[in-house]
Structure 1
Amino acid sequence: MRIADKFAELENKREKALIAYVCAGDPSIEATKEIVHALVKGGADIIELGLPFSDPVADGPTIQAASTRALAAGMNPDLYFEMAASIKENVPLVCMTYYNLIYKRGIEKYAKDCAESGITGIIVPDLPAEESDELHAACRKNGVDLIFLITPVTTESRIKNTIGRTSGFVYIVSRLGVTGERVDVADSTKNILERIHTDVPKAVGFGISNKQQAAEVIKAGADAVIVGSAFVNIIASGSDVNERIEKLASKLKESCRE
């Protein structure tokens, strides 16, 4: 399923989107597929499927640890695409990874592999829109959305340029720093939502971990909330993982319906 189709479906139902992150291969490929199923069963609308990298500069300790576990378990790009192709959930799958892995595999090949395995979007935190010509062209050729990040300190000119390059949704970083659970929603989140004027859906991530935070972000004007570390912490605990994942997704999705 394409990302645009999912947002259109949700708009018809007057709902916002829950985008859930999981690190592929943590703790194993089979476990990841079960976790994705639990997320979708709980109400996740889009799955952000992380391809682990040894130096995930945008991620905090929780997702760094997940990446380390996945790499130690043997996850690599070949297995990642095989696993993505085996996931049959009726939601868009989005790859979140770093540019080194894309460049090493070959930009055209990477975009093609995404399309052939059912990945409909790519997020690359360490690739600025201004330097994305080659990957942008490859994604367009293969029908894959390329999703860029906008932060609280992104200038007006760069916001305009980034929005012009983004499809699927624009990833709005809620605060400065790395990923991880927080206890509040920063004022910068509300300010940046007011600064962004686009028809591309606005998805807010970094620090959202509970229903109240999700509701606050949506009230501020977001079309979607992105939650990662809260799910990854459950996976790391190893206790009743699928049940707790589904329950948290269900609670978060309630905010998207309200």
Structure 2
Amino acid sequence: MTIQAKWEEIQRKSPPESALILYTMAGFPTLERSLEMIQTLARCGADMIEVGFPFSDPVADGPAIQWASAKALEQKITLSKVFQGIRALHLSIPLLLMSYLNPLLAFGMERAVKEAKQAGFSGFIIPDLPVEEAGSWQQILKAHGMDLVLLAAPTSSESRLQSIAQASTGFIYAVSLTGTTGARDRLPSSVIPFLRKLKRLSPKPVAVGFGISTPEQVNTLARIADGVIVGSRLIHAIQKGEPIDLLVQNLKQATIHNGIFSKKAKEVR
């Protein structure tokens, strides 16, 4: 399924809901376990899944994902192994490969895109790819019917945000806070105005990530954003052996705009 087709499916839902996009690290704690986790996330309600590829210098990531990345690197994980494993899953929801630039360049740009497409990925997220250098990736991905999702930071100027919104396909990845990923107790007060700003700048779907950990936070953001991304909270749950199915079901329930979590969610203004 393409990312666009998934958005269209979600827009037809009644009562209204936003997409739940979940992140997990390929190879953490092992490749086999991570593939099982991806299947679990899809079965329990994820609308899309970001599959992270480990890197030795994950500058955008907080402690939880850095730790998971280090554990995955110990497993001698490779892109070829990830593609082979994903291909065998035959999932019906969109998958996005989230990787820093260096591993992709080392593997080969065209080869990475081609093999990702064959494996069942619908798009790429490259956190350290600036919009000014996105052109070649856009061309190759478009040729394979795939999307390039770009990150929009709250510290960026309006002109830069416009460039990112124009170049990003699939959706715009709104970074909810300054700094790295990682679960937070509270949402920053600036996130709702930032989401509204992005929605004014572009008609494209906006999904928000970084620092989101509770169903109440998800519900607050879901009433503004088209999608909500949860990553570090999931890594913590895997690390601690928490029941993933219940966590995902609660997070998905929270994406329903007028669901059971609406009464609990506190508006962030």
TM-score above 0.5: yes
1:65 aligns with 2:67: yes
**Structure 1 stretches lacking a partner, 5+ long:** none
SS class of match (1:26): coil
Partner of 2:216: 212
Q: Residue 88 of structure 1: CA displacement?
A: 2.0
Q: Contact conserved, 2:153 with 2:175, CA < 8 A, in 1? A: yes
Partner of 1:227: 230
1:248 aligns with 2:238: no
Q: Residue 53 of structure 1: CA displacement?
A: 0.9
Q: Residue 35 of structure 1: CA displacement?
A: 0.9
Residues 209-240 of structure 1 deviation map (CA, whole Å, 9 limit, x = unaligned)? 11000011122x10010000111011122x2x
Q: Residue 100 of structure 1: CA displacement?
A: 0.6
| Bigger proportion of residues as helix | 1
CA distance, structure 2, for counterparts of residue 86 and residue 174 of structure 1: 34
Which one of the candidate residues 9, 33, 37 is aligned to 1:35? 37
Q: Contact conserved, 1:107 with 1:134, CA < 8 A, in 2? A: no
Q: Residue 194 of structure 1: CA displacement?
A: 1.6
| TM-score normalised by structure 2 residue count | 0.91
In angstroms, what is the RMSD of aligned CA positions?
1.1
Partner of 2:150: 148
Equivalent residue letter for 2:228: V
CA distance, structure 1, for counterparts of residue 244 and residue 50 of structure 2: 15
Partner of 1:3: 3
CA distance, structure 1, for counterparts of residue 17 and residue 91 of structure 2: 19
Q: Residue 199 of structure 1: CA displacement?
A: 2.1
CA distance, structure 1, for counterparts of residue 203 and residue 116 of structure 2: 25
Correspondences of 1:1-258 after superposition (within 5 Å): 1-13=1-13, 14-196=16-198, 197-219=201-223, 221-237=224-240, 239=241, 241=242, 244-258=243-257
Equivalent residue letter for 2:231: G
Q: Contact conserved, 2:222 with 2:256, CA < 8 A, in 1? A: no
SS class of match (1:48): strand
Instruction: List 4+ stretches of structure 1 deviating above 2 A.
Output: none
SS class of match (2:122): strand
Q: Residue 248 of structure 1: CA displacement?
A: 0.8
SS class of match (2:207): strand
SS class of match (1:248): helix
SS class of match (2:255): helix
Q: Contact conserved, 2:174 with 2:208, CA < 8 A, in 1? A: yes
Q: Residue 89 of structure 1: CA displacement?
A: 2.3
Q: Residue 116 of structure 1: CA displacement?
A: 1.1
Q: Residue 41 of structure 1: CA displacement?
A: 2.2
**Structure 2 stretches lacking a partner, 5+ long:** 258-269
CA distance, structure 2, for counterparts of residue 11 and residue 191 of structure 1: 23
Equivalent residue letter for 1:75: I
Aligned residues: 253
CA distance, structure 2, for counterparts of residue 110 and residue 147 of structure 1: 16
Residues 142-179 of structure 1 deviation map (CA, whole Å, 9 limit, x = unaligned)? 11100000011111111111111111111000000100
Equivalent residue letter for 2:234: F
SS class of match (1:257): coil
Q: Contact conserved, 1:51 with 1:77, CA < 8 A, in 2? A: yes
Residues 60-101 of structure 1 deviation map (CA, whole Å, 9 limit, x = unaligned)? 010000011111012111111111212222211100010011
CA distance, structure 2, for counterparts of residue 78 and residue 34 of structure 1: 18
Q: Quick one: percent identity of the two aligned structures?
A: 38
